[in-house]
Amino acid sequence: MFDCVALVGATGAVGRIVLDQLHARQFPMRKLRLLASARSAGTQVQFGDETLTVELLEPSAFEGVDLVIASTPDEVSAEFTPWATKAGAIVVDESAYWRMDPSVPLIVPEVNPDAIDSHQGVVASPNCSTTQMVVALAPIHKAVGIRRVIVSTYQATSGAGLAGNVELESSTRASLDGQTHAAETFQHPIGFNLIPQIGSEKHEGYTSEEMKMVYETQKIMGDESIQVCPTAVRVPVAIGHSESILVETREPLSAAQARKLWEEADGVTVVDDLNSKSYPMPRDCDGKDDVFVGRIRKDISAENGIAFWCVSDNLRKGAATNAVQIAELLAKKHQPAG
CB neighbour list of residue 24: distance below 8 Å, 6 or more residues apart? none
Has 99 been labeled as part of a binding site? yes
Has 30 been labeled as part of a binding site? no
Q: Is 241 a catalytic residue?
A: yes
Has 13 been labeled as part of a binding site? yes
Has 222 been labeled as part of a binding site? no
CB neighbour list of residue 152: distance below 8 Å, 6 or more residues apart? 230, 231, 232, 233, 243, 244
Has 305 been labeled as part of a binding site? no
Marked catalytic residue, from 128, 141, 285, 310: 128
Has 287 been labeled as part of a binding site? no
Q: How far is CA 108 from CA 98, 135, 306, in A?
A: 15, 8, 22
Residues 172 and 176: their CA atoms lie apart, in Å, by 6
Residue type, 72: T
DSSP for residue 216: H
Nearest to 93 by CA among 117, 65, 125, 132: 125
DSSP for residue 77: H
Marked catalytic residue, from 119, 141, 241, 310: 241
Has 25 been labeled as part of a binding site? no
Nearest to 143 by CA among 31, 66, 245, 257: 257
Has 278 been labeled as part of a binding site? no
Angle at 25 between CA 23 and CA 26, to 5 degrees: 60
Has 12 been labeled as part of a binding site? yes
Q: Are the C-beta atoms of 31 and 3 separated by less than 8 Å?
A: yes
Has 234 been labeled as part of a binding site? yes
How much of the chain is helix, strand and coil, in % rounded to 5?
A: 35, 25, 40
Residue type, 230: P
Which residue spans within the chain are E strands per DSSP?
2-8, 29-36, 44-47, 50-53, 55-56, 67-70, 90-93, 122-124, 146-155, 201-203, 206-207, 227-234, 241-249, 268-270, 291-298, 305-312
Give the active site residues: 128, 241
Annotated binding site for phosphate: 99
Annotated binding site: 11-14, 39-40, 99, 155, 158-159, 234, 314
Annotated binding site for substrate: 155, 234
Annotated binding site for NADP(+): 11-14, 39-40, 158-159, 314
